[in-house]
A and B are shown apart, each in its own frame.
Chain A
Amino acid sequence: MSNHRHTPIKERRYGRIAVAGLVTASVGLLATAGVYAGLSATATGAESVTSGTLNLTLTNDTGSVGFSNFTPKMAPGDTDNVYVNLNNTGTLASAAGMTLAVTGTPANALTNGSVAGEGLTVTATQCSVAWTVATGVCSGTQTPILANTQVSALATATALSNIPALVASTGQVAHVQFSLGLVATETSTNGVAPASTVQGLTANLTYTFTELQRTGIATNQ
């Protein structure tokens, strides 16, 4: 039977041996380094590089309050349209594609999908020119970039489609209408809402847009 237990005296002896070994190795390495230093040669070259930037800004379209507080109490079928500009202000072009995530706090039936088929919905449409906010009319070319989608399905980032204005180069602006709606198909009995309801709730929504840089370029020169 082997014995792995050691007395303190034996262990001190192991320590002394280890220290002696380390000292010997250090002396050897120093001596070797001195020999190589005598044989080295140096050549230098200079290169400068500047990194690009990728900035996505979100501003209100002309005449719009943008994302803000919707004061009236929203009834089923109501729509709140807001108009914003998404602008690539960096020095790098973005990759094709952009994602949108919408999160709601506090978590409730407006945003978490707990009442099947009910809750808030979002639709996004791009216009090739600035929207006419007062009427909600696009006098240019209108392109859907997000079909009517339950907010509960946007908790994870979802790809927007057809956003060419942000893809090609820097400085491009996308004029986007976001429509927030409420779907509700429930019956109140004797003035009381169902146990699971979308009535009388407040949701604070955060819209997060994300774009990625263009594909990296290999340059030979």
Chain B
Amino acid sequence: MRYLTRPNACRAAATAAALLLGLALLPPLAGAAGIGGKAAAAESVTSASWGVTASVTSMTFTTATDQTSNATNTGTVALTAESFSVQVSTPTRGAPTFKVFECTSAWVANRCAGGAGTQVGGTLARGTTTTVTAAVALNPAAVLYLQVEPTGVIASTTVTITTLVTAPTQVRAAVKTNQ
């Protein structure tokens, strides 16, 4: 059996006094704030994603032969334009130049539906990095067919393509929904 010693009794008394004092000093919070009305509702939303993936991102040219790459809209929203950062290496010899063409159908024998396709940007020189933009509407999963056409290649030259899609300028026009 435990007995209450004097120090313990003093501590108990002090604790009780402090608790009583605290209760007495508490302001009547609920009464002061009054009553409130509250209403709540929920809504959920999912954001789109945007981006283009190129099937071939690095092309090595040793002769003046065209090469192709397919740029696919891998996002969930339609695009109005796609940009490509094209880096041309510096070959050991010569001064090759390159042009990028786009086509909305696959290239056949270096021809776009029997034509030359549409040039994207200007002529790209050795040792440069240039961003070119194709103003082509591209739905999700749709493909833009690119062809890189070299001129004056006499030594191995590498062309690297990086796809870039920037929002909101290259994403479809904003839609306003009333519901």
Q: State the A residues within 8 Å of B (CB).
A: 4-6, 8, 11-12, 15, 52-58, 64-70, 72-84, 86, 88, 90, 92, 94, 110, 120, 133-136, 180, 182, 184-193, 198-213, 216
Closest approach, in angstroms, between the C-beta of B161 and any C-beta of chain A? 9
Complex contacts, B43 vs chain A, CB 8 Å: 67-70, 82, 180, 204-205, 207
Complex contacts, A70 vs chain B, CB 8 Å: 43-46, 177
Closest approach, in angstroms, between the C-beta of B5 and any C-beta of chain A? 6
**Interface pairs A-B: 8 shortest CB-CB:** A77-B174, A56-B37, A188-B51, A191-B53, A76-B168, A58-B39, A67-B41, A73-B48
Partner of B42, one of A84, A190, A207: A207
Q: Which residue of B lies closest to A151 (CB)?
A: B45
Q: In the complex the two chains form, is A4's CB within 8 Å of B5's CB?
A: yes
Complex Cα distance, B50 from A188, in Å, reads 7
Q: In the complex the two chains form, is A81's CB within 8 Å of B41's CB?
A: no
Complex Cα distance, B169 from A220, in Å, reads 67
Asked whether any CB of chain A lies closer than 8 Å to the CB of B57, the reply is: yes
Q: Which residue of A lies closest to B41 (CB)?
A: A67
Complex Cα distance, B43 from A207, in Å, reads 8
Asked whether any CB of chain A lies closer than 8 Å to the CB of B75, the reply is: yes
Partner of A186, one of B3, B34, B75, B167: B167
Q: What does the 1/0 interface line of B138-179 toward A look like (CB < 8 Å)?
A: 000000000000000000000000111111100111111111
Q: In the complex the two chains form, is A73's CB within 8 Å of B47's CB?
A: yes
Supply 18 A–B pairs (Cβ within 8 Å), ascending by A: A15-B3, A70-B46, A73-B46, A75-B50, A78-B174, A79-B176, A180-B45, A188-B49, A190-B52, A190-B54, A200-B49, A201-B46, A202-B46, A202-B47, A204-B42, A206-B41, A207-B42, A208-B40
Closest approach, in angstroms, between the C-beta of A94 and any C-beta of chain B? 7
Q: Which residue of B lies closest to A102 (CB)?
A: B43
Q: In the complex the two chains form, is B45's CB within 8 Å of A75's CB?
A: no
Asked whether any CB of chain A lies closer than 8 Å to the CB of B114, the reply is: no
Q: In the complex the two chains form, is B35's CB within 8 Å of A54's CB?
A: yes
Q: In the complex the two chains form, is B168's CB within 8 Å of A191's CB?
A: no
Q: State the B residues within 8 Å of A (CB).
A: 3-7, 33-54, 57, 74-77, 162-168, 171-179
Partner of A76, one of B33, B36, B171, B178: B171
Complex Cα distance, B3 from A58, in Å, reads 62
Q: In the complex the two chains form, is A54's CB within 8 Å of B45's CB?
A: no
Q: Which residue of A lies closest to B176 (CB)?
A: A79
A4-B5, A78-B174, A79-B174 known; A120 and B45 CB under 8 Å?
A: yes
Known: A188-B165, A210-B38, A212-B36. 16 other contacts (CB 8 A): A58-B41, A66-B41, A69-B43, A72-B175, A73-B46, A76-B174, A77-B171, A81-B178, A134-B178, A186-B166, A187-B164, A188-B51, A189-B163, A199-B50, A205-B42, A206-B40
Complex Cα distance, B172 from A18, in Å, reads 88
A4-B6, A189-B162, A192-B51 known; A203 and B177 CB under 8 Å?
A: no
Q: In the complex the two chains form, is A205's CB within 8 Å of B45's CB?
A: yes
Closest approach, in angstroms, between the C-beta of A78 and any C-beta of chain B? 5
Complex contacts, A192 vs chain B, CB 8 Å: 51
Complex Cα distance, B39 from A209, in Å, reads 5
